[in-house]
Structure 1
Amino acid sequence: MAAAVLAAARQVVLEDGHGLSEEQVLEVLELPDERIPALLELAHEVRMRWCGPEVEVEGIVSLKTGGCPEDCHFCSQSGQFQSPVRAVWLDVPSLVEAARQTAATGATEFCIVAAVRGPDQRLMTQLREAVTAIHEAVDIQVAASLGILTQEQVDDLVDMGVHRYNHNLETARSHFPSVVTTHTWEERFQTLRMVAASGMEVCCGGIIGMGESRAQRAEFAAQLAELSPDEVPMNFLNPRPGTPFADLPVLDGKEALRTVAAFRLALPRTILRFAGGREITLGDLGSRDGLLGGVNAIIVGNYLTTLGRPPEEDLALLQDLQMPVKALSSAI
C-alpha cells in the first residue's frame, strides 16, 4: 500500500507536474515512519525538477510589535493574553538599518510585519516612508504583512512598490475557529484574492501543530493550492507563555518532515519556506533534512517574537549542501 501511494505520487507530481489532491495528500501524511526517507527523497526530486536548486533567503522585522486586538491563540502579540510581549513601534531609520543587515546576509527579500488586524492610516503612511527609504538605500525587495486589507490599501501597497504580501491562512478552514475567534478564515481568504488580483506576489502559509488532525493538514494544503500562492511559509508551533496554546506539545520532528514533504507534493512549483519553530521542532539536522525534502527558501535570523538560528549557520548549511542562494536579479 505505501509503495503504491509513493508510486502514484511520483507519477502525478514528478512526471505529470500536477499537485496532489486533498485525498492524495492525506494518503502521504499517513505513510508509516519507515517510508519517510523515501517520501523526502521524492519531495526533493520534485523541488529540483520544478523549482531548481536555488534557495530564496529572507529576513523579517516587526514594524509594530504587540498590542494586537485579535485573539490568535498561538500569538504572544495579542493584547488579549497575559504574555510578556509589549507594544513597540520601529522608526524608519531602524527599518532601513534592519534591511541593510538583512541584505548583508545575501537575502533578496525583506518583510515588514505589523501586529494588527489591519493597517490604519498611520501605519500605511509610515510603511510608504519606509519602503521609499529602503529602496533608496538597499538593493533588496520589500514585502509586507499587515493583516486584513481593503481594496484601497491593496492599491496603495502596489503603488509603494511592495513586491510580495504575506497573509497566512494559518490552518485549515475547518480548524480555524479553534485558533481565532475575532475574525474569520473567509476574511483572510478575501484579502489574499485581492492581493493576487493586484499583481503582487502572494505569500500565504500557516502553522503546523496547533491541534489539527492529519486530515485537516491535507485540507489546508488543498486550500493553499487553490490560491496558487507564490510562497508558502511553513511554521511549526512554538508554544508561547501566556497564550491559549502555551501547553500544546511541540510537533514531533518526523511528523514535521512528513508534512513538509506532503506540502511540496501538493504545491510542486511554489516557494516553500522554512519559517518559525523549525529550530525547536527539527533542530539542526532537521533543517538539513527539510532542505533535502522539499523546502527551497528560509527565513534567516530571528522571527517576530522568538529566536532563530544565526544567519551564518543557515548560509553555511546551504553552502555545504551546494544550494546557491537565489540572486536578486533573478527574482525581479
Structure 2
Amino acid sequence: MTTATSTVLARAREQVLERGEGLSEEQVLEVLRLPDSELDALLELAHEVRMRWCGPEVEVEGIISLKTGGCPEDCHFCSQSGLFESPVRSAWLDVPMLVEAARQTAKRGATEFCIVAAVRGPDARLMAQVAAGVAAIKDAVDINVACSLGMLTPEQVTALAETGVHRYNHNLETARSHFPNVVTTHTWEERRETLRLVREAGMEVCCGGIVGMGESLEQRAEFAAQLASLTPDEVPLNFLNPRPGTPFGDLEPMSGPDALRTVAAFRLALPRTVLRFAGGRELTLGDLGARKGLLGGINAVIVGNYLTTLGRPAESDIDLLGELEMPIKALNETL
C-alpha cells in the first residue's frame, strides 16, 4: 500500500466509519482512483461502514412493469423508448396480474414491491390503474408498495401519497454534467423537481441511476455527491447492460473491479442510505461479484427479473443472503 493510498483509506475510515460523515465529491474521486491492489481493503471498509450505520439486515424488493415500452423519451440506455429500434413492444398489465406479481414477490421474502411504468409522466388512465392496483395489493398481500411512474405534478404526488404509496423511485440517472449526453427530451432539473415534491409529500425518496454510460470518473464522483445532497432513503445502483437498438447498445460493460470500486465509493458517500443492487449486476459482476458487493457496502437487492432484462433467480439471492448470514429485513421494520 502506497502512502497516498493509505492516506485515502485512513481518512475514509476516520471520517465515515467513526463519525458517519460521507465522503465529499473530491474524496469519492480519490476512492474511485484507488488501484485494484487495494480493492479488497476498500470493500472491507465499505462493509464495516454498512454494518455500523445501517446494520446487518438486507431489504429485498421485486419490481413489475405495469406499462412496458412505447415511452416518448430518449433515454439512451433504455430499450423501452419508442424512439429507438429495439425489440421491446408496448404492453399493459391488469390489476389481477399486479396482485399476483405482488403475491409471488412476497413469497420470495421481499418486503417491497415496486410498480413501474415506461412513461414521461402518468396520465389519468395510468393514475387510475395505479390507484386500483395499489388498493388491490394492499387488500391481498402484506407488502409495501412503491412506484416509479416518471415525472409528477404536485397533484399526482399528493394522490399517490394518499393512495398509500410509501416510496417513490425517480432516478437522476447520472451526474448533472453528463445528463445531456444521456437524455435530451427532458432535463436533470425536471427530475430533481419531482424528487422535491415527493419528499415534501412525506413519501420516501428512492433515487439512483446507472453507472458505465460513458461518464468519466470525475462525473461518477459528481453523481455520488449529487445523490448524497438529496439525502435519499434508497439509492438503486445499476450497471449499464447495453441494449440492442439503443444509442448505448455498443458500449462496453464496466469491468468487475470498477463496478465494485463504485459500490464501495457510493457506500462511503452515503453511509446511512439503503444501497440497492439493481440492473446489470449479473453481467458486470456475476455470482462472485454479487457476493463481494454484499460484503462491500450493499444492503438491499432487487430479486428476480428487471423490466426488460433477466436477473438472477430470486432463490439464488435469498440462498446467498442465508449463506452470508445476512437477515432479510422484516416488513414491520420497513413500514
TM range (shorter): over 0.9
1:306 aligns with 2:302: no
1:177 aligns with 2:180: yes
Aligned to 1:121: 124
1:248 aligns with 2:261: no
- Give % identity: 77
Q: Give the drift of 1:120.
A: 0.3
The number of aligned residues is: 332
Amino acid across the alignment from 1:117: R
Aligned to 1:325: 328
Amino acid across the alignment from 1:316: D
SS in 2 for 1:70: coil
Q: Give the drift of 1:197.
A: 1.1
1:279 aligns with 2:298: no
Q: Give the drift of 1:306.
A: 0.1
Aligned to 2:149: 146
Q: Give the drift of 1:264.
A: 0.1
SS in 1 for 2:82: coil
Gaps of 5+ in 1: none
1:75 aligns with 2:78: yes
d(CA) in 2 for partners of 1:195, 1:19: 23
d(CA) in 1 for partners of 2:149, 2:334: 23
Gaps of 5+ in 2: none
d(CA) in 1 for partners of 2:163, 2:71: 24
Amino acid across the alignment from 1:215: E
List structure 1 segments (4+ residues) > 2 angstroms apart after TM superposition.
none
SS in 2 for 1:77: coil
| CA RMSD after TM alignment | 0.3
Amino acid across the alignment from 1:209: G
Q: Give the drift of 1:330.
A: 1.1
d(CA) in 2 for partners of 1:193, 1:213: 27
SS in 2 for 1:154: helix
User: 158, 161, 166: which is aligned to 2:161?
Assistant: 158
Aligned to 2:223: 220
d(CA) in 2 for partners of 1:222, 1:185: 15
Q: TM-score, normalised by structure 2?
A: 0.99
User: 13, 21, 29: which is aligned to 2:16?
Assistant: 13
Aligned to 1:111: 114
Amino acid across the alignment from 1:271: V
Q: Give the drift of 1:25.
A: 0.4
Deviations 1:178-220 (A, max 9, x none): 0000000000000001101111000000001000001001000
Q: Give the drift of 1:173.
A: 0.1
Amino acid across the alignment from 1:254: P
Deviations 1:252-289 (A, max 9, x none): 00000000000000000000000000000000000000
SS in 2 for 1:322: coil
User: 188, 206, 223: which is aligned to 1:203?
Assistant: 206
d(CA) in 2 for partners of 1:309, 1:253: 17
Aligned to 2:26: 23
Deviations 1:28-81 (A, max 9, x none): 000111010000000000000000000000000000000000000000000000
Amino acid across the alignment from 1:87: S
Q: TM-score, normalised by structure 1?
A: 1.00
Aligned to 1:32: 35
Amino acid across the alignment from 1:185: W
